[in-house]
Amino acid sequence: MLYLWLKSAHIIFVIFWMAGLFMMPRFFVYHQESAVGSEEDRKWIEREGRLRKIILNPSMIITWVLGLALAYNIDAFSQGWFHGKLLIVLLLSGYHGWMMAYAKKLARGERTMTDKKLRLVNEVPGITAAVIVILVIVKPF
């Protein structure tokens, strides 16, 4: 029964994390449209900070903890599909870190990416989620 509770909580926090990963690049697109140092700029900095502190970082940490507990519970560390999933989740965590760094750049007034590129990177969470679901459900290897 504990396994089912862990699995349920893991999926819930994955959903929270993914929601934040979808929201943050969209925030960046709108943030970049504001003038550096303006009231709107300060509001976007605050919004991004709240998203990071309330949703993104806690959800990522809880997702990792629950995911590793589940993997241990089912001895997934010896299964090929899990190695693939782990690699994708590591890459997604790196993407998360990149977003946190980009938020800090925006807060400093640096606008280093175009709106088009930000819209493209917004696709990363969806693609990784699809790959992870296939690995977990289909277990192709």
Residue 106: burial class (beta carbons within 10 Å; 0-12, 13-18, 19+): buried
Annotated binding site: 10, 85
Annotated binding site for heme: 10, 85
Residue tagged 């606008």 (tokens): 111
If one counts every other C-beta atom within 10 angstroms of the C-beta of residue 48, the result is: 23
The dihedral region occupied by 139, where left means phi > 0, alpha psi between -120 and 50, and beta the remainder, is: left
